Structure 1
Amino acid sequence: MSRARSSSGIASLALLALLTLLAAGCGSGGGSASAASSEKLKVVATTTQVADFARAVGGDRVQVIQILKPNVDPHDCEPSPADVKAIGEADVLMANGVGLEKWLDATISSAGFTGTRVDASQGVKIRSGNGDEEEKEGDPHIWHNPLNVKIMIVSIEKAFTAEDPAGAVAYKANRTAYDGRIDALDADIARQISSLAPADRKLVTNHDAFGYYVDRYQLTFVGSIIPSFDTSAELSGRDVKDLVEKIRSIGVKAIFSESSLPPNTAETIGREAGVKVVAGEDSLYGDTLGPQGSDGATYLQMEEHNTRTIVDALK
């Protein structure tokens, strides 16, 4: 082999290594650009849920890259170089808001983003936090009430239409169709929850991610293993002891683990309290969607899975 060909091979390997590095990190889970998508609206969405909504509204007129990968905790995201590059090249950047993406401002600054930034939480009534630092902006888990999603997708439609007026009719049609699916989901969740006796509608989860769901469908929130909106909050031995005592005294039937969090503490509390722990493939999807092929691959599937799991465990 000649020196020229050897050098070319080394260069190719170096390029491959660089591309592999850029693909690492918490993001770029939605795919990359191609010649066929070069004329589509370039959209970067921070969370798995917002990316799913963007695809539903945008249809084939948008190319969506999502920063967070399935089953990755959004509270701990560290954007990769590929994420920064994607944001810098985006026409529209869509975020959940309510302080969920604490890393976003610094990433935008690094990326030199000059497009349209959309806070999908605008217009949503936010549940208050407890005043702690991690809860000062309120409860960010707004998607667990389907009626909030209807507000979120209106913001998405408006942003896409402003950037791509020629697609206005398509965006409205997509949003209207998705609206109908959300209404059907909401009705089905209400029907399933109503099949539970009121005394059995008691929820214990990994962290405080389901407040909007509890409020919408009139469940009783007993408590969570991490008593915070933020999964990075500290857990004390006293918190665990208090929760075990509460589970025993109130007569909770199950503890629900979450797909993006380890089930170890939930299983420990379940043993001490003498109740079953719903974990593994039956874990609830709290902060993130699941991978393709899972029961949480889309927002609609996620909420259907969560409801079915909760009802089956509490009957």
Structure 2
Amino acid sequence: MRPFRRTTLVLALAALAAPLAACGAATPQPAAAGGGRLAVVATTTQVADFARNIGGDKVSVTQVLKPNVDPHDYEPTPADIAAIGAAKVVVKSGVGLERWLDETIASAGFKGATVDASAGVTIRQGNGDEEEAAGDPHIWHDPRNAKTMAQNIEKAFAAADPADAAAYERNLADYSAKLDALDADIQAKIGKLPPGDRKLVTNHDAFGYYIDRYRLQFVGSIIPSFDTSAELSAQDVDNIVAKIKQTGAKAVFSESSLPPKTAEAIGRRAGVKVVAGEDALYGDTLGPQGSAGDTYLKMEEHNTDVIVQALGG
């Protein structure tokens, strides 16, 4: 979306949000949470999950993005603006993923602390396009980066709520141990695949950190961009089909937040299986409650199990 249109929309929503909040018609705000809990707004499904694990019962987390909603070009709602205005801490994933957030924060009159969960993470470079200027934003697909994100969140919570700092520290230690176990488990599972079979074809370029961490070979993606809104050309389709045939990749992996039709068409042309439906990978977002990817830990386990089964079968 062009900057003028986005700015106009955010300002209009801000004007709507004020009367809604005043009359109580908007979504209940985190500042009203009982028990004196820290009011937190988290942008993406991943950082909201991290915030809930680190904050425990000491925080009230309002999650902006819903499961399977594309974070790359989200449009804020009046309820989002009102929630941010009432929050004490806003947690973002960073690396340019939430291009809509700065204007939304300014419109909301937010006076609290903003924590960039990506601080300290080594960022994979983009291809030079404007949409990839900040680098690859899908940092959570390496559990070591998830640990850094959790650490950044813990520091922000402790600074905003010193009285509960010890609880946040304990929660971080517990969650960090789970992330270490996840990393070791993924390494063990991927390690059972023959090196020649570790070839990944995905919907878009969302798994670079995972590929780097676990030493897979990236054959290509259907949408050759970090951004799911990038346009796909006929030449792009021809190129990915040719790469699949040339490399002998065994499967094309669809993603839960994207329509599977293009992946299915490419799979048919290339003569390989397409992993879709309940087995689709979770790339940009967690899954809905009750799904195989409704937490970060479950998402990464699901993705790994699906990849190993498809490539090792």
Same fold (TM over 0.5): yes
Q: CA deviation at 1:76?
A: 2.5
1:266 aligns with 2:263: yes
Where does 1:1-315 land on structure 2 (aligned, <5 Å)?
22=26, 33=30, 37=34, 39-315=36-312
Contact 2:40 2:60 in 1 (8 A): yes
Separation in 1, partners of 2:216, 2:165: 39
2:74 maps to a residue whose letter is C
Q: CA deviation at 1:238?
A: 0.3
Identity %: 68
Per-residue CA deviations over 1:115-156 (Å, capped at 9, x if unaligned) read 000000000000000100111100000000000011111111
Separation in 1, partners of 2:300, 2:270: 27
Aligned partner of residue 156 in structure 2, secondary structure: helix
Separation in 1, partners of 2:193, 2:82: 48
Q: Which ranges in structure 2 are unaligned for 5 or more consecutive residues?
A: 1-19
Separation in 2, partners of 1:272, 1:38: 58
Contact 2:41 2:63 in 1 (8 A): yes
Separation in 2, partners of 1:170, 1:261: 38
> Given the two structures, how large is their TM-score scaled by the length of structure 1?
0.90
Aligned partner of residue 301 in structure 1, secondary structure: helix
Q: CA deviation at 1:38?
A: 5.5
Separation in 1, partners of 2:35, 2:225: 42
Q: CA deviation at 1:106?
A: 1.1
Q: CA deviation at 1:109?
A: 1.3
Separation in 2, partners of 1:291, 1:311: 23
Larger radius of gyration: 1
Separation in 2, partners of 1:19, 1:184: 44
In structure 1, the residue matched to 2:6 is none
Aligned partner of residue 161 in structure 1, secondary structure: helix
Separation in 2, partners of 1:80, 1:166: 33
Structure 2 CA distance for partners of 1:141 and 1:305, relative to 1, 3 Å: same
Q: CA deviation at 1:36?
A: 5.5
Q: CA deviation at 1:37?
A: 2.5
Separation in 2, partners of 1:294, 1:209: 20
Separation in 2, partners of 1:165, 1:173: 14
Separation in 2, partners of 1:37, 1:288: 29
Aligned partner of residue 74 in structure 1, secondary structure: coil
Structure 2 CA distance for partners of 1:19 and 1:278, relative to 1, 3 Å: farther
Separation in 2, partners of 1:19, 1:166: 30
Separation in 1, partners of 2:32, 2:250: 53
Per-residue CA deviations over 1:89-122 (Å, capped at 9, x if unaligned) read 0000000000000110111111111100000000
Structure 1 segments, 4+ long, off by >2 Å, are: 31-38
Contact 2:31 2:87 in 1 (8 A): no
> Given the two structures, how large is their TM-score scaled by the length of structure 2?
0.90
Q: Which ranges in structure 1 are unaligned for 5 or more consecutive residues?
A: 1-14, 24-30
Q: CA deviation at 1:52?
A: 0.3
Separation in 2, partners of 1:293, 1:279: 18
Q: CA deviation at 1:225?
A: 0.3
Separation in 1, partners of 2:257, 2:59: 28
Number of positions where the alignment pairs a residue of Structure 1 with one of Structure 2: 291
Separation in 1, partners of 2:252, 2:306: 11
Separation in 2, partners of 1:19, 1:208: 41
